[in-house]
Amino acid sequence: MIVTTAGRTTEQMIQTARKVANDLGYHYFQRNKRSIHTLFKEKQQDVLVIGKSRFEWYRIEGGDPIFFHPNTAAFRVKRWLNGEVEPFLQATDLKEGMTFLDCTLGLASDSIMASMATGKQGQVVGIEGNKLLAYLVKTGLKTWESDMHQMNEAMKRIEVLQGNHQAILSKLSDDSFDVVYFDPMFHEHIEESNGIAPLRNVGVQDELMEQTIRDAQRVARHRVVLKDHWKSERFERLGFTVLKRKTAKFHYGYVKT
């Protein structure tokens, strides 16, 4: 991985790029108007581009760049604030002041909803296995500015941990969180939004094990929740009660603790 700046570089972007490279242990290279394709050919590595408003991860294997954005969370938040039902919040049963552990953070769309629901007195922690994705999301949550003050504040409250969720869960104390949540990569493919699709190539794809769910039940005071494809056999295999939704491509399941 190398770190550089956007095409139209400013001194501030250069200083930010140097800091990011130092934080992550990568090398910084001056852009010098070279294209991403040229940098791929010269360095034979992925490229992290530091722009004015966001960081973009270009993978040498190709595909769209990966960057933090609230994705569908903004639409979900607006609908929820307008009184519409939010299936994720029904499944998790989150209330003001509760604590939530997201074991598969991704771009944090579900954690943003959790932070909205639990409020200033609550706590939301997300675990992301991919080092660079965790950094992009952690930075983005603190700096992204939407047109909704409540959502901006909710994003800033989310704590991001980088690591293996199975290892982290095993070290947590009993009843550390009210709700523990999993949204693993689906075995069945569905058409994803443009923002989510690239994550399939970089997201951790470890299979959920029975021991992981046992640890989650030990850690969760209230319930453990799983989001998965409607055809998934994980629900039955791992003992989840499924909240089926007609025409939905995915369901939620839960285990009370």
Mean pLDDT across the chain: 91
Query: Over 60: is that where the pLDDT of 256 sits?
Result: yes
- Distance linking the first and last C-alpha atoms of the chain: 42
pLDDT digit string, tens, across residues 113-149? 999 999 999 999 999 999 999 999 999 999 999 899 9
CB 177 within 8 A of CB 125: yes
Fold for 73-256, please state it. Rossmann fold (3.40.50)
**% of the chain with per-residue pLDDT over 90:** 80
CB 21 within 8 A of CB 1: no
pLDDT category at 193 given cuts 50, 70, 90 is very low
Cβ neighbours for 208, distance < 8 A, ≥ 6 positions apart: 182, 184, 226, 234, 238
pLDDT number for residue 249: 87
pLDDT number for residue 46: 96
pLDDT number for residue 203: 56
Which residues make up the CATH 3.40.50.10480 domain(s) of the chain?
2-58
Which residues make up the CATH 3.40.50.150 domain(s) of the chain?
73-256
Domain 2-58 sits in CATH 3.40.50.10480:
yes
pLDDT number for residue 208: 87
State the average pLDDT over residues 174-189: 83
State the average pLDDT over residues 156-163: 97
Query: Over 70: is that where the pLDDT of 201 sits?
Result: no
State the average pLDDT over residues 161-179: 96
β-strands 2-5, 47-50: how paired? Answer: parallel
Query: Over 60: is that where the pLDDT of 195 sits?
Result: no
pLDDT digit string, tens, across residues 105-119? 999 999 999 999 999
Q: What is the dihedral of CA 222, 163, 227, 143, to 10 degrees?
A: 90
Higher pLDDT, 186 or 208: 208
pLDDT category at 197 given cuts 50, 70, 90 is low
pLDDT number for residue 247: 83
pLDDT number for residue 140: 95
pLDDT digit string, tens, across residues 212-235? 999 999 999 999 999 998 888 899
Higher pLDDT, 195 or 156: 156
Query: Over 90: is that where the pLDDT of 200 sits?
Result: no
| Residue 174 Cα to chain centre, angstroms | 24
| Residue 51 Cα to chain centre, angstroms | 21
